[in-house]
Each structure stands twice: as C-alpha cells, then as structure tokens.
C-alpha cells in the first residue's frame, strides 16, 4: 500500500489521512482562491472521498462557485487555517490545500485553473497547462 497523504491545520486541531493518489492537483487563480489565500492563487489536491479520514471539527463556509454549485470550505476555528473543500455537486471528492500537507513536497501541480483571472505578478510554472476556467470533464 502506498504511503497515505497526511496533514491538517497549523495547531493540530484538524487532521486528515488520505489513502490513494490524487485525482487532480492544481493551482487555482479564481478570485475566491485569491481572497482565501491572500495571494494570487490557491494550490490544491483532489482525492476520492472514500479514502479520506478527518479528525477534529472544521468550521465550514459555503459559497457558490462560478458553476452555480455550492462549495464548502473547511477551516480551523482555532488557528484559522483553511484545510479542505467539498462540493455539493461532487460528493465523492475531497480537496485539500497543498500547504496543509505534512509533506508539502508531495504536491505536484498538473495545471493552472482560472488562469484568465491570474495576475502578471503571480508567476507560476510556465510549463503547466493553463485553463481559462475549469478543464473539461
């Protein structure tokens, strides 16, 4: 069995362990991710929900994505760190913030999403495929 992906918030009140490999890893330059990260993008890894175990209680914040679907961001009520996202329209996936990993070097981005909203000062690897919004299917 492969080594699980583990991580959590800065203070340790929320922890996760994820079996399996990511389905998708990306930098997202949408305005929501810019605001949440306090910079030009957010970095994420998306997994099958079936392999995810979370301990601790996350504070949740629902927002409506460009698609019109609700996405829920989970963050720590103690240290404030954003840890994960879930999506009402896709209940079988679970997305983590890359920097919440115990071993952030395991994050390997595959693409940039919402590149149309990126800023020139937010330099990302030019070899990554860029999508104006979310990539098709």
In sequence order, the β-bridge partners of residue 55 are 15
Residue 2, judged by CB atoms within 10 A of its CB (0-12, 13-18, 19+), counts as exposed
The per-residue pLDDT for range 10-42, each reduced to its tens digit, is 999 999 999 999 999 999 999 989 998 999 999
- Residue 137 in this model has a pLDDT that exceeds 80: no
Residue 133: predicted pLDDT: 87
The per-residue pLDDT for range 69-91, each reduced to its tens digit, is 899 999 999 999 999 999 999 99
Residue 13: predicted pLDDT: 98
Q: Where are the domains of the chain?
A: 5-117
Q: How confident is the model at residue 1 (pLDDT cuts 50, 70, 90)?
A: low
3-state secondary structure of 68: coil
The per-residue pLDDT for range 102-112, each reduced to its tens digit, is 999 999 999 99
Residues 6+ apart with CB under 8 A from 62: 70, 71, 72
Architecture of domain 5-117: Beta Complex (2.170)
């Amino acid at each position: 069995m492969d080594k699980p992906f583990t991580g959590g918030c800065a203070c340790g009140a929320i922890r996760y362990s994820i079996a399996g490999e990511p389905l998708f890893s990306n930098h997202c330059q949408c305005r929501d991710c810019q605001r949440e990260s306090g910079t030009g993008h957010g970095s994420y890894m998306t997994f099958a929900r079936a392999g995810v175990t979370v301990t601790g209680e996350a504070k949740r914040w629902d927002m409506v994505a460009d698609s019109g679907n609700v996405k829920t961001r989970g963050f720590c009520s103690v240290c404030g760190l954003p840890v994960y996202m879930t999506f009402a329209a896709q209940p079988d996936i679970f997305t983590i913030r890359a920097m919440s990993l115990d071993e952030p070097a395991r994050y390997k981005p595959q693409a940039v999403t919402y590149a149309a909203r990126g800023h020139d000062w937010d330099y990302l690897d030019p070899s990554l495929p860029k999508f104006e919004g979310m990539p098709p299917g």
